[in-house]
Amino acid sequence: MSKILSQKIKIALIQLNGSSPNKLDNLNRAAKFVEMAMTKQPDTQIVVLPECFNSPYAVTKFRENAEVINNDNKSQSIDFLSKIASKYNITLIGGSIPEIDPMTNKIYNTSPIFNGKGDLIDIHRKVHLFDVDIPNGITFKESETLSPGTKLTTVKTQYGNIGVGICYDMRFPELTTISAREPNNAFAMIFPSAFNTVTGPMHWHLLARSRAVDNQIYTILCSPARNMESSYHAYGHSLVCNPKGEIIAEAGEGEEIIYAELNPEEIQNFRQSVPLLNQRRFDLYKDISK
């Protein structure tokens, strides 16, 4: 576990009904909910927004809503999120937004991460694209528009190290494992996610608990609220899972803010009780974190 993590940390997940065609409306709605969260629990230190909250989650809409993401010439959404982070002095996991790389013209599904000064300290480009075709369920192919990211993301914050993935990344355990093990030592894995009403009931809770138990860290999923009038129906049920695989906070389907306290002793105690870190047989199988 990261030696930096030595205090309890309060986190808020913002399950909001964004993703409308009006980007400014989506951003203002996010700001309103963050203000509500900070007013109700002003000692909150980390705030998480959902996947693709600032624009429609649709392959036909990614490019037209894409923005350049950097600290030098802040785009509309990046400037907006930066000001929210600095206003409340919070670490802000800015959900995800469509990003365009001006050098390559490629489009990514990207999570921007800000510190309490409003600085953009890292980004995570969705590594595994959501390309599925479930009979009598859902067909969705992000790769029609998006390109996959090419790096794994563990962010250094003042509270310790946090791994970040986006939605479908959750299904691939290697991302969480690499963030959780040395030298990254993440105490939590955060996934802005938009599982749908087909895949959500099947695997949402299962995957959150599995990633937490496998690595003995907190797993945090932040979903958009469910809106049956939109083209994509998010599952909702944003949640926080502790290192023992227990869900300690969970939203319903609609707009909601949930809070949780992340306790380093939970990680320490469970790792002492079930010492997986010392029992792995790397003489028989590869340590993928190396």
Mean pLDDT of the chain: 94
Specify if 290 maps to a domain: no
Cβ contact 113:92 at 8 Å: yes
The number of distinct structural domains making up the chain is: 1
> How confident is residue 71, by pLDDT bands cut at 50, 70 and 90?
confident
Q: Of 23, 74, 99, 126, which residue is the catalytic one?
A: 126
Specify if 4 maps to a domain: no
Residue 60 CB neighbours (<10 A): 10
Cβ contact 105:115 at 8 Å: no
Q: What is the pLDDT of residues 153-188, one digit of tens each?
A: 999 999 999 999 999 999 999 999 999 999 999 999
What's the pLDDT at 4?
46
Q: Of 23, 51, 67, 142, which residue is the catalytic one?
A: 51
Using DSSP, state whether 137 is helix, strand or coil. coil
Specify if 289 maps to a domain: no
Specify if 124 maps to a domain: yes
> CA of 286: how far to CAs of 152, 174, 242, 276, 289, in Å?
18, 12, 26, 15, 9
Which of 44-48, 59-63, 241-245 has the lowest average pLDDT?
59-63
Specify if 1 maps to a domain: no
**What mean pLDDT comes out for the span 96-107?**
97
Q: Is 52 a catalytic residue?
A: no
How far apart, in whole angstroms, are the C-alpha atoms of residue 20 and residue 210? 32
Buried b (16+ CB within 10 A) or exposed e, 187-207: bbbbbbbbbbbebbeeebbeb
Q: Is 256 a catalytic residue?
A: no
Q: What is the pLDDT of residues 221-266, one digit of tens each?
A: 999 999 888 878 999 999 999 999 999 999 999 999 999 999 988 9
Amino acid at 60: T
What's the pLDDT at 94?
98
Top-confidence residue, 7 or 173:
173
Among 251, 189, 249, 250, which residue's Cα sits nearest to residue 216?
Answer: 189
Specify if 285 maps to a domain: no
| CATH number of the domain that residue 130 is part of | 3.60.110.10
- Give percent of the chain with pLDDT exceeding 90: 84
Q: Is 126 a catalytic residue?
A: yes
Specify if 71 maps to a domain: yes
Q: Of 23, 52, 74, 167, which residue is the catalytic one?
A: 167
247, HSE (Cβ side, Cα atoms, 13 Å) = 15
> How confident is residue 134, by pLDDT bands cut at 50, 70 and 90?
confident
Which of 106-115, 126-135, 253-262 has the lowest average pLDDT?
126-135
pTM of the model: 0.95
- Note down the domain range covering 187: 9-279
Specify if 40 maps to a domain: yes
Among 35, 151, 50, 41, which residue's Cα sits nearest to residue 83?
Answer: 35
Using DSSP, state whether 222 is helix, strand or coil. strand
